[in-house]
Chains A and B, each alone.
Chain A
Amino acid sequence: MGEILLPLLILSPLAASLILFVTAGRMSAYAVGTVACVSMGISAVISVVLSVLLLSGPATGIVQATLWPWMHIAGFSADIAFMLDRISMVMILVVTIVGLLIHIYAANYMRDDPGIARFFGCMTLFVASMLVLVLASDLLCLFIGWEGVGLCSYLLIGFWYDNPVNTAAARKAFYMTRMGDAALLCGMLLLATAVGSLDIGAVLAAVTNGQVTSSAVNMAAFFILIGALAKSAQIPFQTWLPDAMAGPTPTSALIHAATMVTAGVYLIARLHDLFDLATPVMALTAVLGALTILMGACTALVQSDLKRVLAWSTISQLGYMFLALGCGVWQAALFHLMTHAFFKALLFLTAGAVIVRTHHEQDIFRLGGLRHTMPGLTAAFVIGASALAGLPLVTAGFYSKEMILSGVWPAHFRLTHELILSGHFLWGMALLGAFLTALYIFRCVFIVFFGKSGTTMRGQTSRFMTIPLGCLCVLSLCGGIIEMPTTFPPLHLFSALLDPAASHSHADEPGWLILAGAIVPLAGLGVAWVLWGRPSPVMREIPGQAAVIRFARTGEGIDMLYDRLFVQPFRFLTWLTRHDILDYVITGTGRLARTASTSVLRARTDFLGTLALWGTSGIRGADRLLGQIQNGRVRWYAAWIAGGLCAALAMAVLS
């Protein structure tokens, strides 16, 4: 039964996407929303059924479906094949359930947009691609989904394509992720030449058996890491994600917060056996993740656009996942991925509802005091913010962040004999990141929802928008209790789910670790209250005059750096190739030859010209004669016919 359900899971959103694209705009907005939501609902039901099937089986059991062989050549083969194991089970549950909630929300949010069919066509196509990505049992098949989600991301960022800013943002996202895709392809080719197949199981088996040389493993892991970094907007590819907020808000929630950007995390978690053998790459992952946490949090602290705060916070949270992946605790990364999908989708959807009701005002300093006029949305946003900050015990974010922190602490990387990177240092960075996270998100909360009221609002948030928000609130609060920190009651459902064999004893871990992880978000909340929350706030606005902050706010600094580092040299290179020195030599020779040939040509032209003149005058005379023959008189024509006939007869008879 699983073999049938697995392709159906992907087929359902794909069919909806086809229907929506083919009927392009002929369906009413209501019908479009219904088709999209029903297809997502079917997917969600199927994924739940599949999960039950999988969990009722043996611990290492998988559901597999090979649809058809893609290519078979000597030394390499690839299939279109799907596989459901426990890692991908978590992903399909997140993708379909969060996707369903966001679709229900979007059906109402996009109700008045003329391009709603195109919007939902792209969204359902995205879900189909994402499901292909997470279910593929072959890296080449995974790459189809990988490119598909990139395409849908591009289409949806540039959804309102009549504004050039949006299309520029779409192109930027596409180029940046494309660089990573090229690197990922390089890594896959390396693995394919080393192993002869891209089947994930075969690749991992070959790598763990030592069939692949250590340098090849390191190179492949490095390239795959670059692909993952670009997809997940980590340093040094982080600049595309804030610009991607140009798309509709449900898109930001689904693609640029909850699912697509986590594809990189999923890919590394899926190939964790490969990465375990590549210590330098793991260290690089962890360090980049830790740097991204701090960079994203610091930048989010000075943003004034509500959606951009959330975008930078997404980058920062993805940094946590990469840190966890780098330290080898991929279960923690997946757990954080799941909870992050819940609370970040909640934050984005709430922000979208707020923005719609305040006449598309996204500047947090112009909003304010919304707590009086929209208490429900305020509650939802505060819940999301608490989960993001990881307020202890009551939120999902706390448990997943705690799992990452406790996994990072004991990690250590032996790069060379002398150089050892300790996990304690990374742990410190992550803890600082947690403090900053609480600071920036509660800054947002206090400025937007408390204080003086700033803008007028209109309307009421419709019921179909509040239902998904409610569901996500519940998930953000309770989604974390399935995995408790070790010092708490032994409840390890999530890691037991992923890796039943592993034992979970961090017995050597000091008890104050968890205390630190619990206190730091509260400290951040307190500082945010002092700075922005009190009736007479210490600073209403961080002094925006400082050049550093202005740079950081717009993200211009990095863009300018990239412009100097990559775009300008590239331009210079193209300039150089256009003004080639060798080309000048060749051009000079060519010019000389041309002069010589011109003089020869002129001599010849004179001669030919005379000939041609004669020819034309002769032709003109003949032409005039022929013109006279055709005088339009029937009798003359008859005479010519008769004369011609006589001549022909004479020739026939006399010859």
Chain B
Amino acid sequence: MPVFSFNDTLLLATILFSVGLAGVLIRRNMLFMLMSLDIMLNATALVFVGAGARWHDAAGQVMFLLILALAAVETAVGLAIILCLHARGRPTLDADTGNLLQG
């Protein structure tokens, strides 16, 4: 018996996604931006799990695993970029200073 209805799940996911998005948009610290991105990914994963429970389909769980892997990879790449920047003598986490590509 599901404790939460599907609508509740969707609501929770939307809130999580919004929190994540707001974090990405507001925070300037790149570590926090990465964490916020993970939150957004988790929100989408939650939608998949909820949908899987709603339609009794294991594909939702499979998608969750895929997204988990994706999130891990994304975090790894992001952290690697940050470490690279440090190694190149740019010891800052402020995302707004990296604006060489401005038009």
Contact = CB atoms under 8 A, between A and B. Distances in A.
Interface of A: 626-635, 638-639, 642
Interface in B75-101: 95-96, 98-101
B54 interface: no
A196 to B, nearest CB: 79
Nearest to B37: A638
12 contacts: A628-B103, A629-B103, A630-B102, A631-B102, A632-B98, A632-B99, A632-B100, A632-B103, A634-B98, A638-B24, A639-B25, A642-B25
B19 interface: no
Nearest to B101: A632
Contacts of B101: 630, 632
Nearest to A623: B103
Contacts of B98: 632, 634
Contacts of A629: 103
Given A634-B95, A635-B24, 17 more contacts: A627-B103, A628-B103, A630-B102, A630-B103, A631-B99, A631-B102, A632-B101, A633-B95, A633-B96, A633-B102, A635-B25, A635-B33, A635-B95, A635-B96, A638-B21, A638-B24, A642-B21
B32 to A, nearest CB: 11
Contact of A633 (B21, B26, B99): B99
A638 B25 contact: yes
A567 to B, nearest CB: 68
A631 B95 contact: no
Interface residues on B, range: 10 to 19
A630 B101 CA distance: 8
Interface string B17-50: 0000100111010000100000000000000000
B2 to A, nearest CB: 27
Contacts of A634: 33, 95, 98
Interface of B: 21, 24-26, 28, 33, 95-96, 98-103
Contacts of A633: 95-96, 99, 102
A635 B102 CA distance: 13
A627 to B, nearest CB: 4
Pairs of residues from A and B, 6 with the lowest C-beta to C-beta distance, nearest first: A632-B99, A632-B102, A630-B103, A627-B103, A632-B101, A631-B102
A626 B99 CA distance: 16
Contacts of A628: 103
Contacts of A638: 21, 24-25
A160 to B, nearest CB: 64
Nearest to B102: A632
Contacts of A639: 25
A234 B28 CA distance: 99
Contacts of B21: 638, 642
B103 to A, nearest CB: 3
Nearest to A630: B103
A642 B101 CA distance: 20
Nearest to A642: B21
Nearest to A639: B25
Contacts of B103: 626-632
A635 to B, nearest CB: 6
Contacts of B33: 634-635
Contacts of A631: 99, 102-103
Contacts of B99: 631-633
A633 B25 CA distance: 10
A267 B103 CA distance: 82
A642 B103 CA distance: 21
Contacts of A642: 21, 25
Contacts of A635: 24-26, 28, 33, 95-96
Contacts of A627: 103
B84 to A, nearest CB: 16
Nearest to B97: A633
A631 B99 CA distance: 7
A627 B102 CA distance: 8
Contacts of B95: 633-635
